[in-house]
Amino acid sequence: MFPNPHKTLESYVDTITYGDCTEHLPNLPRESIHLCLSDIPYGINLADWDVLHNNTNSALLGQSPAQRGKSGFKRRGKPINGWNAADRKIPQEYQAWCHQWTEMLFPAMVEGASVFIFGARRTLHRAIVAFEDSGFLLRDILAWEKSNAHHRAQSLENLVRKRGLNAEAEKWAGWKVGNLAPIWEPVAWFFKPYRHTILDNVLENEVGAINIAECLVEGRSPTNVLRFDSEAGERLHETQKPLDLIKYLIRLTTREGQIVLDPFMGSGTTALAARDLGRHFVGFEANEQFCQIALERLKTTGLSTNNRQAQRRQRVSKKTIIDETPLLFPET
C-alpha cells in the first residue's frame, strides 16, 4: 500500500472512516498518534469479519451439521474429522495478517506512545510477535476481569447417551467437553521505543508516563488486573467493550488534546470514549453497517457537561501537526 498524498490527518481526525485500515494507515503522518487502542479481530472465526485465513475446512462458520440451528458459537470452527493441516496453519496466517498492519502502524506512532490491543487468549501471542517484529516492545499483558462469563461446556455424559451408549455414559458423569469459564480477557500493552531516557521522551513527546492520580482504584494505585463489568442493555457489536474500561486506558496514557487511534472501531466505543475525555480520535471500520452504527452512536450520544467544558478549553496537543486547529467536532 502506498500513501495517498491527498489524505491529510485532518481528514481523518474526529471521524470514523469506512474502509479497510490497511488502505488508510499509510496515509497517517509519521509520529502523529499518541495512543493506539484497539479491540482487534481475534482470528478465532467469531464472525465473518474474524475469518483471517484461507482454511476452507467445512466445519467453519456454521457449515457443520452439528452447528445448525445453534445460536451461540454456531460460527466457530469445529473440526468434525480432526484438525487438518490447514486448521493448524490458522495461527500463522493470523500472525501474517497482523504483521501487515503493525508495519503500517509503527511509523504513525509517536515515540514512547502506548498501544493497547485486546485479543483472544488463544491467538494474542501471534499478534504480540507481529508487533515485536514491527519494532514495538511489549510492556505488559493486562487482564480485563469481567463480573461473569458465559460457560458453554457440554455434559459428556449426555453426549455419550445421545449415541445410545448408556453404560458408557455413566462412566463420564460429571465430565464436560469445553473450557473453563472465560472470566478474563488479555490486553497486550506495547510501546514504541524512544531515544534517550523516558524522562527526555516525556518532555519531548508528552507520552510514555502513566497518570496514576486519574486512575486510582478505590483510592489505591491500580494493578494490572482491570475489573470492569460488561455493560447492561442492547449490544451494538458482538464484541463491544465497556465504555468505562476504554476510558480508563485512555486516561492512563494520554493527555487532553492528544490523538487516539483505533483501526478496528466496531461500534465506535474508542471514539466515544476519546471524545468524551477531550481527546481526538482517528478510526477505521471495514464493515459498512458497523461503521454506520458507530457514526450514529457518536451523533446521538451526548457529552456530559464537564467534558463539554473540557473540550471547549482544550486544543489539539502541541505535538501534533494540526497544532493550531480548533476542535474539529461540533459541540453537542
Ligand X SMILES: C[S@@+](CC[C@H](N)C(=O)[O-])C[C@H]1O[C@@H](n2cnc3c(N)ncnc32)[C@H](O)[C@@H]1O
Examine residue 116 and tell whether it contacts ligand X (CB under 6 A). Answer: no
CB neighbour list of residue 169: distance below 8 Å, 6 or more residues apart: 157, 158, 160, 161
Member of 267, 311, 317, 320 binding ligand X (CB under 6 A): 267
Smallest distance from the beta carbon of 272 to ligand X, in angstroms?
A: 9
Smallest distance from the beta carbon of 55 to ligand X, in angstroms?
A: 17
Quick count: other Cβ atoms within 10 Å of Cβ 2? 6
Q: How many CA atoms lie within 13 A of 55 on its CB side?
A: 28
Closer of 271 and 327 to ligand X (Cβ):
271
- Name the one range near ligand X by CB under 6 A: 107-115, 179-187, 265-273, 315-323: 265-273
Closer of 52 and 259 to ligand X (Cβ):
52
Q: Cβ(294)–Cβ(279) under 8 Å?
A: no
Smallest distance from the beta carbon of 270 to ligand X, in angstroms?
A: 7
Q: State CA 183 to chain mean position distance.
A: 17
Helices (H), the chain: 9-12, 21-24, 85-108, 124-133, 156-162, 166-171, 198-205, 243-253, 269-276, 288-300, 305-313
CB neighbour list of residue 130: distance below 8 Å, 6 or more residues apart: 95, 96, 98, 99, 102
Examine residue 131 and tell whether it contacts ligand X (CB under 6 A). Answer: no
Member of 230, 240, 314, 325 binding ligand X (CB under 6 A): 240
Which of helix, strand or coil describes residue 86?
A: helix
Smallest distance from the beta carbon of 286 to ligand X, in angstroms?
A: 4
Examine residue 208 and tell whether it contacts ligand X (CB under 6 A). Answer: no
- Name the one range near ligand X by CB under 6 A: 55-63, 132-140, 206-214, 232-240: 232-240
Smallest distance from the beta carbon of 240 to ligand X, in angstroms?
A: 4
- Name the one range near ligand X by CB under 6 A: 16-24, 213-221, 226-234, 317-325: 16-24
Pattern 281-300, ligand X, x by CB under 6 A = ---xxxx--x----------
As a whole number of angstroms, the distance between CA 74 and CA 55 comes to 17
Member of 10, 20, 200, 229 binding ligand X (CB under 6 A): 20
Smallest distance from the beta carbon of 249 to ligand X, in angstroms?
A: 12
As a whole number of angstroms, the distance between CA 266 and CA 41 comes to 10
- Residue that has been written with the C-alpha cell 507520552 in this structure: 207
Residues of this chain that interact with ligand X (CB under 6 A) are 20-22, 39, 41, 49, 237, 239-241, 263-264, 266-267, 269, 284-287, 290
